[in-house]
Chains A and B, each alone.
Chain A
């Protein structure tokens, strides 16, 4: 991978980390607030389905995870297992795409009202 690509990956991981920091805080506060008096799953779904704002928030959350995690995983593979090069890049990309696919599937189910 070219040095330019390495630098851009680093930049993408930093920016996604900033997004994740915000998303995690909002997510935790929301979860604590939502269940403070014991909401049921049905009640939570009743509030989330069709809510465009929360859909956009969690779609962003999933996107940030899907960018951040595979870049970090690629570094861990290189430094811990000495697995570098094209195969490690492809593996990390598959992990990232899988996270995006499963994450967005969950977001669709909770906010879009589809089948989980």
Chain B
């Protein structure tokens, strides 16, 4: 099998691409390629990964211009003319090479009140929530987010509006808005309202198209828009 021609981003924002040749392997993932480069070609290459099996959300990068989780992305599916270009995620500051500073990404989860607030203690019993209830089904649709940042990187609105909370934080807020045990619904709806919140979404669906877990943050954001408007008209926020 012919060697793969790989271009990998080096340095910070003002860095550039460096070229490497990597032997092709069967079922080779993009993360395998990056790991080969670091172990065999240049040990100073910085990148981030942990589980290697699509659970932890650490290894997201931009591959041939598209945000992807690299551990579950096969080279066969993304190589163009036996070439792969690997860059850090978009919309986040680059620390070095393929490593981005994800502080703002997670800070926005906090701004969107992404933390559950309950009224019970560990001494109380379980809250009965029917799996068939409308709210529980909405939670199910969005709860599997692994926080990889692919949606944030793919989102045009984040590029245009740096204050925009982004798809992942809003998806998290939507799961909590539908959590019948949560006690901060009104505060959360207020936190995700307005120009930096759900109403800034243009429904481009980039997040839904790129989410490696097959979630639809767009649907959650649409739900938030309606819920926030209803709460505003009702004078709750």
Contact = CB atoms under 8 A, between A and B. Distances in A.
Interface of A: 1, 3-4, 6-8, 10-11, 75, 78-80
Contacts of A78: 160-161, 195
19 contacts: A3-B190, A3-B193, A3-B197, A3-B237, A4-B237, A6-B193, A6-B194, A7-B193, A7-B199, A7-B228, A7-B232, A8-B232, A10-B199, A10-B229, A78-B160, A78-B195, A79-B157, A79-B160, A79-B161
A12 to B, nearest CB: 10
Q: Which 10 A-B pairs have the closest CB atoms?
A: A6-B194, A79-B160, A3-B194, A10-B199, A3-B193, A7-B232, A11-B229, A7-B193, A6-B195, A7-B228
Contacts of A80: 160
| B: contact size bracket | 10 to 19
Contacts of A6: 193-195, 199
A4 B237 CA distance: 7
Interface of B: 157, 160-161, 190, 193-195, 197, 199-200, 225, 228-229, 232-233, 237
Contacts, number: 34
Contacts of B195: 1, 6, 78
Contacts of A7: 193-194, 199, 228-229, 232
A10 B222 CA distance: 12
A11 B199 CA distance: 9
A31 to B, nearest CB: 30
Contacts of A8: 232
Contacts of A10: 199, 225, 229
Nearest to A84: B195
Contacts of A75: 200
Nearest to B193: A3
A1 B225 CA distance: 18
Contacts of B194: 3, 6-7
A78 B5 CA distance: 41
